[in-house]
Every structure is written in C-alpha cells, then in structure tokens.
C-alpha cells in the first residue's frame, strides 16, 4: 500500500516542530525522497523509515531549504555502509549545482562511496519514474529559479496527489492539480515566486480537487486564518500540513 509522508512542512525558516518542506513516497518497489531538508537522516528514522532503503531522490529546485540536507544525507548513507546505487532526479540546472556542491565536499574521494547517478528531468511535462503501483510526473512551475511541481498517480485505483512546490499561480500548477484527490499547495505568502493561501484556494477550485493541504507556510501564521483565506475561493476540505502527516491509498 503506497504511503506518502510530509516529513517537513515549514517555509525556509524551520522550528523545533516544523522542518523545511520535504516529502517521501514509499511503494512496494521504491522509496523516494522529494527534496532534502535540514535534518533528513534523523527525520526519516523518526518517521519509522530506514534511510538506507532510499532508491530515488527528486530535487525540485536548488534553493537551500530544499537541498541543504543532501550532502549530509549522502555522507551518512556512505558512513552506515550503503552499497546499493541511488538515483537523483532534477532539472539540468539543479543537477549541475548539486554536482558542484558535492565536489566542494570532495565526494569523489570518499572511499568506496556508493554509486549515485543523475537523471535529468526535462523542462516540459514528463514522467520521472513509475513502478507497478504509481506513476510520478513533473512539470515546470513559476518560481524564482527553475523549479518543478509533481503529481503522483496511483495505477491500482483512481487516486492522485499533486504537489506544487514553490510557485506563483501558473499553468503548471493547474495542470498538476487538475482533478487531483489531494492538492498540496504552497502558501508562503504574497511574494514573488510564491502563492498566498487565497491563491492556493483559487487553484484548488479551478482544478476541482477533493482536498487542499496548505504547506510551506510561515511559522508565525495563524493556521485558521490561512484556512479561512483559502476557503474564500474553495469550498472543499482544507487542512494545514504538519510534519509527519501521512496519506495512504
Ligand atoms: Zn524555493
């Protein structure tokens, strides 16, 4: 039974309770990390998952709050003796920067470091990966740097989750969200490259999703205010994401 977990739900300023936004998807065959926040190794263990089981990491864009934990996670996997290869997916620009970051850490000289391979995600709507239970595709969204949003579609029953990542309202968000069961939409606020909770509600209404989950909202926000703001435009169920929230299907 696939399991989708919100590991962290905060904007770029984490707290004790809320880590920066990153997510996992577990299926029978794959264990996928979506972005890599400040304390991934510990948070994955706390969520009852073994970090060594990771098969894929998808990096949505190269902003620190989405990628900062990656060097330490890779190092820790090496130190616990990982042997199996790992695939990292991202846009060309994202991968180029990850390689530069890792070369600063001298990862080419880590003895017996496990194999990491990169899969370039095209700058158009495209399937990133699939297995017997899910198909996961991405499309570019409108952020400050090249960024992708994601959609997970179940192959066993009609069920889908869309994740906008960091973005202004745009066609990519509408494509990802269309008819989704769950739309996980950022609500960082009124700033270039981001969306308000009200705009998240508008997107949820346009796409006729069943449920809206607000994520990446500032820690000083009053959650009821965010929900009320989104509800101006959207009459479905609205909740705010918290760390550890899970969805199964
Ligand atoms: Zn960002």
pLDDT of 58-89, one tens digit each? 999 999 999 999 999 999 999 999 999 999 99
Q: How far is the CA of 164 from the centre of ligand 1 (A)?
A: 11
Cα-to-centroid distance, 109 and ligand 1 (Å):
30
Compute φ and ψ for 188, nearest 5 degrees. -70, -25
Cα of 181 vs centre of ligand 1, distance in Å, is: 25
pLDDT at 219 exceeding the cut of 90:
no
pLDDT at 39: 85
Return d(Cα 145, Cα 46) in angstroms, integer: 31
Query: How far, in Å, is the centroid of ligand 1 from the Cα of 63?
Result: 5
CA nearest neighbour of 202 among 221, 183, 216: 183
Pairing of strands 86-91, 116-121: parallel
Residue 240: pLDDT over 90: yes
For residue 194, report the distance from its CA to the centre of ligand 1, in Å: 8
CA of residue 108 to ligand 1 center, whole Å: 28
- At residue 39, φ and ψ (nearest 5 deg) are -140, 50
Give the span between the Cα atoms of 53 and 58, in whole angstroms: 15
Q: How remote is the CA of residue 83 from the centroid of ligand 1, in Å?
A: 32
Residue by residue, DSSP assigns 122-139 as PSSSEEEEE-SSEEEEEE
Q: List, in sequence order, every beta strand (DSSP E) within the chain.
A: 3-8, 22-26, 31-34, 56-58, 86-91, 116-121, 126-130, 134-141, 147-154, 160-163, 182-186, 211-215, 237-240, 245-248
**Beta-ladder partners of 163:** 150, 184
Question: How far, in Å, from the CA of 50 to the mean position of ligand 1?
Answer: 27
Give me ligand 1 centre to Cα 126, in Å: 21
Q: The tokens 């972005």 sit on which residue?
A: 35
User: In the chain, pLDDT over 90 holds for what percent of residues?
Assistant: 94
Across the range 216-237, mean pLDDT stands at 94
Residue 29 CA, ligand 1 centroid: distance in Å: 29
pTM of this structure: 0.96
Ligand 1 centroid distance, CA of 193 (Å):
8
């Amino acid at each position: 039974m696939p399991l989708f977990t919100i590991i962290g739900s905060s904007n770029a300023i984490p707290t004790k309770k809320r880590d920066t936004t990153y997510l996992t998807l577990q299926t029978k065959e794959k264990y996928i990390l979506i972005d890599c926040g400040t304390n991934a190794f510990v948070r994955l263990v706390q969520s009852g998952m073994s970090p060594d089981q990771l098969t894929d990491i998808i990096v949505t864009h190269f902003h620190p709050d989405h990628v900062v934990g990656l060097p330490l996670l890779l190092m820790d996997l090496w130190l616990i003796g990982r042997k199996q290869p790992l695939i990292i997916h991202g846009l060309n620009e994202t991968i180029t920067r990850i390689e530069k970051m890792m070369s600063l850490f001298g990862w080419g000289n880590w003895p017996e470091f496990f194999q990491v391979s990169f899969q370039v995600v095209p700058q158009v709507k495209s399937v990133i990966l699939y297995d017997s239970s899910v198909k996961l595709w991405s499309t570019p969204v409108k952020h400050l740097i090249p960024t992708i949003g994601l959609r997970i579609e179940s192959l066993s029953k009609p069920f889908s989750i869309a994740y906008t990542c960091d973005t202004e309202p745009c066609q990519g968000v509408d494509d990802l969200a269309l008819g989704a069961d769950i739309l996980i939409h950022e609500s960082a606020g009124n700033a270039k490259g981001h969306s308000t909770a009200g705009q998240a509600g508008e997107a949820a209404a346009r796409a006729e999703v069943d449920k809206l989950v607000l994520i990446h909202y500032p820690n000083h926000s009053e959650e009821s205010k965010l929900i009320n703001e989104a509800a101006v435009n959207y009459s479905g169920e609205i909740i705010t994401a918290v760390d550890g929230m899970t969805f199964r299907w």
